[in-house]
Amino acid sequence: MSPEVGDILRAVFLQMLTEVAPRMGEDYDAKQASVLGALMVFCADEYERAAEIRVRENGAMRVIFKRALRHIGAGGEGVAGDLREELERAVEMVEGSLAISELNRVNYFYRRVLVCLQDFCEGEDAGWARDLDREIWLCLRLMAEGRVVRLPGM
Amino acid sequence: MLREISEKLALYLSRHFQEAEVSALERVHGGASRETYRFRLRFREKGEGVAGGARRERRLILRRQPVGSLIETEARAEYAAYQIFQKSDVPVPEVLFLEEAGGILERPFFIMEEVSGCESASPFVSDPYGGARERIGRRFWEILGKISADEARALRFAERMPSPKREECWRRELDYWEGVIDEDEVEPNPIVRAAIRRLRREPPPPPERIALVHGDYRTGNFLFNAAGEICAILDWEMAHLGDPLEDVAWALDALWAFDDAARPGGMIPTDEALAIWREVSGIGVKGGALRWWRIFAAVKGVAIWTSSAKEFGEGANRDPVLALSGWYTLARHNRILLSLLDGGGEVSGVA
């Protein structure tokens, strides 16, 4: 079995920290080596979780968009009409693969639609809009927690 | 590269000194808004002959605009702020020369003295000041109070930099940093957009008076010594005129507290910090206004880290510090912003 990417990056980080950085004469170079090491640990963690994070985020946003379509009526004009079109595009959109670039393509589009949807809900004085707004906040929390980055050793 | 900079620097300094000789040039690790180098200069004053005695020596700092910067600021604003506080209650290094056109060093730069025997702390370590944290913390907030209170120096700064009307302070800052996000955002960020909408719906009251705002007043941007004295306030590159609460909120931001949010910047508790600042500045702190500026501080942070990610991602500046800021720091600031918007991060000790 070949070594996993995460294991390789963590091993390189340890080498950088214990062998390369201490041999660097200049303080600046040693600190830059430490930063590079920290980035390697981030990359190792991300290698393991990157696809899962994006699939989960896209799924959570898709559920919100489907729910929003029940309230933002068909044939609507102006902002509501434009938003409905975007929501319809979003729920029909499918990730073509699990490649990070493909997951990001959908994720970035979804994030833009989510911004428009929340902006719309904030301007609506109706129970469904307040409920949807609450769901969006829960989704944002999930996204922020899912993307926590921990410094090595924490 | 260091050798080339060293030679060019010697050539530049020979315009100001006789027999200028630059040695021991080394890069200083830290923020990516400026390249910072320390070096030793040996020289004679112009007009001072060999008979004038031995050559003198000074330890100096070169601050140069990088190729791609995470914040677009003018060297003259930073230089002006240092100049204004020379020999004042606010400790700053002596500044010597400013070259806005860049000239021999290709990009704008300035030279100032190195404050020796001191160190700065990283905001990303636990308990950065150890046993000196109380003393340093009290002095940190006292100095900020003096900066905020100094109307005469704010007026001098206004002679060189634009001054907003009191009621325009919040909008000018928010417009600017939202513009940075609009321009540099690669990955859309619904959290910061929700925050910006909230800030626009609920603007703060105008400040009691316009003050000189440091713009990046926090742990990591000042030097202190083993006795717990603050020797110099640094990194004035975002200095501007505005609402003094902007600096207070930035210094209180949880990002600089690492693992102890009750002690902003790893120093003294929030209540005590605000009491000192209020007393020294003579400026009242209203909860709603400070709350607005605290959310704004996190938005500004997100904007800066968004720029870092873009600069690194597009290859304009491959300094790994930018990758770290655009990843780890951005993720942290998003969470801080969420907690502020959710009603967390309430500020105690305010009127």
Q: Is the pLDDT of residue B150 over 80?
A: yes
Q: What is the pLDDT of residue A59?
A: 98
Q: Is the pLDDT of residue A127 over 90?
A: yes
Query: Positive or negative, the Cα torsion across B89, B91, B96, B101?
Result: negative
What residue of B is the nearest CA neighbor of A30?
Answer: B29
Q: Indicate the residue of A26, A144, A151 with minimum beta-carbon distance to B335.
A: A144
Q: What is the pLDDT of residue B71?
A: 59
What residue of A is the nearest CA neighbor of B38?
Answer: A28
Relative to beta strand B211-213, strand B95-99 is unpaired
In the predicted model, what is the mean pLDDT of residues B51-74?
A: 78
**Which ipTM did the prediction report?**
0.94
B contact residues 24-53, partner A, Cβ 8 Å cutoff: 26-29
Q: What is the pLDDT of residue B93?
A: 97
Q: What is the pLDDT of residue A22?
A: 82
The percent of residues in chain B predicted with pLDDT above 70, rounded, is 93
- Looking at residue B237, its amino acid is E
How far, in Å, CA of A24 to CA of B265, rounded?
Answer: 30
Helix segments in A93-126, DSSP class H:
100-122
Which chain B residues contact residue A146 at CB under 8 A?
A: none
Task: Establish, for the pair of chains A and B, how many residue pairs have beta carbons separated by less than 8 Å.
Answer: 71
In the predicted model, what is the mean pLDDT of residues A106-117?
A: 98
Helices B330-341 and B287-313: angle between axes, nearest 10 degrees: 150
> What pTM does this model have?
0.93
Q: What is the pLDDT of residue B187?
A: 95
Helix segments in chain B, DSSP class H:
2-13, 75-84, 133-149, 151-158, 169-184, 190-201, 245-252, 270-281, 287-313, 320-324, 330-341
Q: Is the pLDDT of residue B123 over 90?
A: no
Relative to beta strand B35-45, strand B56-64 is antiparallel
Domain extent listing, chain A: 5-146
pLDDT digits 0-9 by tens, B202-242: 999 999 999 999 999 999 999 999 999 999 999 999 999 99
In the predicted model, what is the mean pLDDT of residues B10-24?
A: 93
pLDDT digits 0-9 by tens, B233-284: 999 999 999 999 999 999 999 999 988 889 999 999 999 999 999 999 999 9
Q: What are the Cα distances from residue A115, in Å, to A86, B43, B173, B297? A: 12, 60, 22, 21
Q: Is the pLDDT of residue B350 over 50?
A: no
In the predicted model, what is the mean pLDDT of residues A21-44?
A: 87
Which chain B residues contact residue A39 at CB under 8 A?
A: 320, 323-324, 327
Confidence of residue A1 (pLDDT cuts 50, 70, 90): confident
